[in-house]
Amino acid sequence: MATQSSMLPRLQLGKVVRENFLVELFQSMEEVASAVQSRLTEMLDEAGNLRDSQMRRDLWMDYKTAGRVWVEKTNKEWRANLQQGNAQPLASLSTNFSELNGLSLVDTGVVENRILASRLALAINEKVLPEFDDVRVRLKALENLEDLGAKDLMRSEVLVRILVEQWTVAGLPSEAWPLVNAAAERVLVQRLLVAYRNANALLTSKGVLPVITLKDRVKVAPRGMQGVRDSARTGLDSRSGPQSQLPKATTASNPLSGTGQPFWRTSASDRNGLAASAADETRMMTAASPMARARSRAQGVIGQIRRLFVGSVGSDFSKTVVTPPSSALAHALAPQQMAQMYATGGTLYQDFTPRGVARVADDLRERSVELKKKAETKAEKATIEIVALMFQAILAEERIPPGIRVWFARLQMPVLRVALEDGDFLGSSDHPARALIDRMGSCVMGFDASDVKASAMEAEIKRVVQVIEQYPETGRKVYQIVYDEFQKFLGKFLTEKGVTQKVVSVAQQVEQKETLAIQNTIEMRNMLKDLPVRDEIRDFLFKVWAEVLAVCVLRKGARHADTLALKACATDLVWAASAKPNRADRTRVIQDLPNLLVRLRAGMSMLAMAPSEQEHHVKIISDTLADAFLSKTQAIPQAKIDAMARRLASLEDFVSEDGMGDIPLDSESLEMMLGMDASTIEVVSIGGSKPTAPMLAWAAELQLGAWFALDYKQQVLNVQLAWRSERKHLNLFASTSGTSFLLQGGRLAGYLQAGLLVPQEEESLTVRATRDALAKLEANPERLLS
């Protein structure tokens, strides 16, 4: 058992590692602050309305002084975190996060900060996970820990949480953080990668797990022997011998060691022993959206293929310098050589049936074997095999029409070229080549072969493949360009059909109307905040007249005479409802009142408001005006009334970009308000559950073209996300039956949470293909280098 004296040098080394890490964090914070400053300066020149421009200027000015405070407070909190110690029982994690589940009162700002920090941490973890995972394994072995503490600063989510929290503590608005999030993320990813690599270098230089095996990552030894093994492994216990002299652990108690299964194939009972070491990952996953959890699982698959590569080849496929393939291999992969294989139509065969796809797969398999013979290094052979297995899985995906799969087959060689030169293809889940294949695959999985053949979708995929082949020397850049182009094509393709185009037009007008109504309400609140206006009049203006103005602007335009007349009604109503201490004003009210009420009724009629409801509002207004007529309080100065009239006349120049919540909608109200046929739209206004913040985030991340199973009114339909509004408040799903379903953002999240809207893909196409490649290599490991 490890003695206190043997533990001392190990703990001292762990402290040195963290101190060095902290110093690098201090340096990274300066770079983050500088990047944020640069981003805020760039935003001053970006286009926007007057309110946006003013907000950016204010933020830029505030940051000039608060930015330094932010840096100092963040560094101080990081230092305090290190000095307070990092050990925290993993069992307490559920307690920490119970606050977010309503078991104790938490300030709204705290919750918002945690959500912002969680999103940033997840994005960073995707990039730094392999390096951090090695640091964690070594520190666990060094310090005799089951896992790093939940508040250990070595965890990126901990340091990011502190950084985001101190943003608001320094006096900067939390709603401004998304504007600079990307700038901070870029710097943090670069700096943390370096910091984790340096930590690994220091630990390995002191003899701490120079080579990490699978057992080191997942095995939890009994507490009585753990300290002895750790001491012997690190070489810091003078009484222990070299690592090679240690007795081998038996495999009977651990199916993951020796001849046990790889951990991606373990059963649920096998994984129970890993619960403690995976507690923090579980916490992060439950605090994130299912989309974020899918990305986390994808990164796990990437980590598995990475470790397999390192174990078999002896080096990583990620490189700091681009290394082209060997000359013979490069010649064989040249586009000119590939072009000789294609038939007239551009595919390997003029056969778009499943049998034709099978022939293509066989030929590509043979081609990969020939390429491996020309490879000069183990890394090249392994890369060729992994990419070949991935495309074998893609070509076997029966949900993709055969006519599309033959074009996917033609991508194998260009993708192999980029994989040989750019380690990120195999080492990252967000490489643009992966993203392109995933998007194209997810969009065609819901089509029948007859729908896709010779369609615009097939033509676009063909164009994408040919563009990639024309620019082999550009590497990942060409994939990013065609990915962006495909996204634009998708937005048009999904809405270009007659019925869908008409539905989208209606949906767009709905959001424009509702957004204008909310913006009008906000601006009128600002105009009336210093005026002595009665509550009854305020409510009418905010809840009714703001929507009247929005509908009129949408139908006739902001400068139309009718729109200007309705805006003048608001000014007249405010003046009429104010005190009238002199005879002339009272006479004017009596003369103008009948005409004012007629104009108010006309405006309410534009909302398709029932006559009885109109009369209810008119009665409240009449009673309020009568009371004001007799009031002796101070009147509203005419100058303020005139200023309000001027602002209302140019209301669109002052409105904000604030978002909107869910609003009452149905097909009949759409037709009456907008004057358009909405019979082909089914407004989903019932069902679902109250969505959590992660579900709302997931709903916002859904991508156009993705297919879902919609459980609605006792029917399960296949639907495709065909359109979403600019602010993602309205989402249109097209079904194969011809009916379109319109869901507002909150309802969409509620359906996702209740399982009434289920994605047809749990994993992206390339992640599934990578997982399939892993399974085949597990069954036949020698094929990697054969």
Rounded to an integer, what distance in angstroms lies between the CA atom of residue 4 and that of residue 230? 14
What is the band of 645 on the pLDDT scale with cuts at 50, 70, 90? low
Amino acid 123: pLDDT = 82
Question: Which segments of 178-279 are extended strands (E)?
Answer: none
- Looking at residue 433, its amino acid is A
Cα 361 to the chain's mean position, in Å?
34
Average pLDDT over residues 130-148: 88
Secondary structure (H, E, C), 347-415 = CCCCCCCHHHHHHHHHHHHHHHHHHHHHCCCHHHHHHHHHHHHHHHHHHCCCCCCHHHHHHHHCCHHHH
Residue at 260 is within a domain: no
- Residue 570: CB atoms within 10 A of its CB come to 26
Q: Are strands 681-683 and 740-744 parallel, antiparallel or unpaired?
A: parallel
Rounded to an integer, what distance in angstroms lies between the CA atom of residue 218 and that of residue 230? 15
What is the band of 640 on the pLDDT scale with cuts at 50, 70, 90? low
Examine the domain organization and report whether 678 and 583 are in the same domain: no
Amino acid 36: pLDDT = 94
Lowest mean pLDDT among 72-86, 375-389, 405-419, 548-562: 548-562
Q: Which residue shows structure tokens 């078999």?
A: 312
Judge whether 38 and 193 are in contact, CB under 8 Å. Answer: no
Amino acid 387: pLDDT = 92
- Cβ partners under 8 Å of residue 323, min gap 6: 421
Examine the domain organization and report whether 643 and 722 are in the same domain: no
Amino acid 67: pLDDT = 92
Amino acid 400: pLDDT = 86
Residue at 253 is within a domain: no
Residue at 525 is within a domain: yes
Rounded to an integer, what distance in angstroms lies between the CA atom of residue 525 and that of residue 523? 5
The Cα-based distances of 117 to 37, 85, 161 in angstroms read: 19, 22, 5
Examine the domain organization and report whether 471 and 525 are in the same domain: no
Rounded to an integer, what distance in angstroms lies between the CA atom of residue 750 and that of residue 458? 34
Lowest mean pLDDT among 76-80, 420-424, 651-655: 651-655
The Cα-based distances of 457 to 426, 485, 579 in angstroms read: 28, 13, 66
How confident is the prediction for the chain on average, in pLDDT? 74
Examine the domain organization and report whether 506 and 487 are in the same domain: no
Amino acid 75: pLDDT = 93
Amino acid 174: pLDDT = 86
Residue 423 DSSP code: T
Q: At what angle do helices 498-528 and 638-649 cross, to 10 degrees?
A: 160
Lowest mean pLDDT among 243-247, 538-542, 752-756: 243-247
Residue at 148 is within a domain: yes
User: Which range marks the domain in which residue 560 is found?
Assistant: 500-653
| pLDDT digits 0-9 by tens, 647-666 | 555 444 433 333 334 445 55
- Tell me what percent of the residues of the chain surpass a pLDDT of 70: 68
| pLDDT digits 0-9 by tens, 313-347 | 766 665 544 567 778 887 777 766 666 665 545 55
Nearest Cα residue to 746 out of 781, 695, 709: 695
Residue at 100 is within a domain: no
Rounded to an integer, what distance in angstroms lies between the CA atom of residue 387 and that of residue 389? 5
- State the CATH number of the domain containing residue 678: 2.30.30.140
| pLDDT digits 0-9 by tens, 28-52 | 999 999 999 999 988 887 766 667 7
Average pLDDT over residues 755-766: 84
Rounded to an integer, what distance in angstroms lies between the CA atom of residue 742 and that of residue 665? 10
C-alpha R_g of the chain: 32
| pLDDT digits 0-9 by tens, 674-712 | 555 566 678 888 888 888 888 888 888 888 888 888 989
Beta bridge partners of 719: 708, 735
Measured CA angle at 585 (ends 584, 587), to 5 deg: 65
Examine the domain organization and report whether 485 and 538 are in the same domain: no
Better pLDDT: 236 or 554: 554
Residue 713 DSSP code: T
Q: Which of 224, 257, 287 marks a domain boundary?
A: 287
Query: Is 16 exposed, middle or buried, given 0-12, 13-18 or 19+ CB atoms closer than 10 A?
Result: middle
Beta bridge partners of 741: 682, 733
Judge whether 457 and 444 are in contact, CB under 8 Å. Answer: yes
- Cβ partners under 8 Å of residue 233, min gap 6: 141, 208, 209, 243, 246
pTM score > 0.85 for this model? Answer: no
| pLDDT digits 0-9 by tens, 590-631 | 888 888 888 888 888 888 788 888 888 888 888 887 776 665
- Residue 721: CB atoms within 10 A of its CB come to 22
Residue at 271 is within a domain: no
Examine the domain organization and report whether 629 and 675 are in the same domain: no
The Cα-based distances of 128 to 196, 280, 392, 706 in angstroms read: 8, 16, 29, 28
| pLDDT digits 0-9 by tens, 477-515 | 899 999 888 888 887 777 665 555 555 555 556 656 666
Examine the domain organization and report whether 599 and 680 are in the same domain: no
Query: Is 337 exposed, middle or buried, given 0-12, 13-18 or 19+ CB atoms closer than 10 A?
Result: exposed
Residue at 38 is within a domain: yes
Amino acid 703: pLDDT = 85
Residue at 621 is within a domain: yes
Amino acid 260: pLDDT = 53
On the CB side of 512, how many CA atoms lie within 13 Å of its CA?
16
Better pLDDT: 576 or 527: 576
First-to-last alpha carbon distance for the chain, in angstroms, is: 45
Amino acid 512: pLDDT = 66
The Cα-based distances of 98 to 37, 95, 105, 106 in angstroms read: 36, 5, 10, 10
Examine the domain organization and report whether 334 and 475 are in the same domain: yes
Examine the domain organization and report whether 619 and 691 are in the same domain: no
The Cα-based distances of 88 to 83, 758, 768 in angstroms read: 14, 37, 36
Amino acid 684: pLDDT = 87
Average pLDDT over residues 205-214: 83
206, pLDDT greater than 80: yes
570, pLDDT greater than 50: yes
101, pLDDT greater than 50: no
438, pLDDT greater than 50: yes
Burial 690-705 (b: 16+ CB within 10 A, else e): ebbbbbbbbbbebebb
H or E segment and range at residue 593:
helix 583-605
Q: Are strands 730-735 and 715-724 parallel, antiparallel or unpaired?
A: antiparallel
- Cβ partners under 8 Å of residue 341, min gap 6: 348, 363, 367
Judge whether 694 and 688 are in contact, CB under 8 Å. Answer: no
Examine the domain organization and report whether 508 and 469 are in the same domain: no
Examine the domain organization and report whether 334 and 461 are in the same domain: yes
Judge whether 199 and 134 are in contact, CB under 8 Å. Answer: no
Examine the domain organization and report whether 672 and 778 are in the same domain: no
Rounded to an integer, what distance in angstroms lies between the CA atom of residue 470 and that of residue 416? 15
| Count: domains in the chain | 4
